[in-house]
Amino acid sequence: MNPYIGHETQISGVEEHRLVGGKGDGMRLYEATNGKGLELTLSPDRNGDITRLRYKGINMSYFSPCGYVAPAYYDKTGSNWLQSFTAGFLTTCGLQAVGTPCTDDGEELPLHGSIANQPCAHSYWDENEKEIRIHSVTKDEVIFGRKLVLTRTVKISKEENIFSIQDKIENTGSKTEPMEILYHMNMGYPLLDEESEIKIPSVEVKARDAHAEEDIANWMHMEKPQGNYQERCYYHKFEGSDGKASIYQPKLNVGLEISFDASKLDGFVEWKMMGVRDYVLGLECGNCYPDGRDVMRKTGMLKFLNPGESVEYQVNIKLFEK
């Protein structure tokens, strides 16, 4: 017991809120703070994804023009996923598909899959002296179709400004299922501007298309917001399992580093979008590239889960000052 405080959340902890008004009306939010400058907002009505990230009062992530959108508004047709793409720090893409809408193995697949628009079947939080843990379970299960369950724990340190996303994905059905996931992590202003320093220690960088190839020499250089900017995507390969990416803002002396097992999450995407109000840098690790599940099947990069099989992934995030 700390004799100087009245309630434990005076220093750190989690508070649960509900939104009022707009398309997010009624959505639950967990607002967590570690007492050392790290603040996260998680949405149990949107797969337990992280909608806001702040460090010592500075916004670190991108929040899209559509804002909070409840699952009831989700439209899986084609690219209409964008109409409910809140972005935030983390939007999980998958599990049945990532990237370009396509038809694969007779199944019509929407942009980036549907898991980010699924409410958690169950969520809660707990804490001890060292960390806060936010737990959630999202079930992507349908009759006559895939049956995948995502169990997530977000661990937030109370000793350092670090947190991790730990996911277990299990095939609870009776047939082998394709499974794709992309951790769509979105950096935003004021962490992100034309002076931001981007470091991705990859051993290979490839442009997604001809447009990105035209400017591949500047993949690490950010620009001022531009009207009619066309997105550029770059695919990074790492040597071994040591996957890392970071962004640092010298004006504010704050930065963020992402680390992950690149042998398991073997498809890292840098999404460079320098548009007016659409100003965001995606640093996204996944087990595939966002070219459509049909393309991943053809290239041999598509992953599968057998009945009863599960796979675990972990993404670590560190906030820092130099």
Model confidence pLDDT, tens digit, residues 90-105: 999 999 999 999 999 9
Q: Tell whether pTM > 0.95.
A: yes
Query: Domain extents for the chain?
Result: 13-321
Average pLDDT of the segment spanning 174-202: 98
| CATH number for the domain running over 13-321 | 2.70.98.10
- Percentage of the chain beyond pLDDT 70 is 100
For tokens 């548009």, what's the residue? 275
pLDDT at residue 318 is higher than 90: yes
State the pLDDT at residue 1. Answer: 79
pLDDT at residue 146 is higher than 90: yes
pLDDT at residue 211 is higher than 90: yes
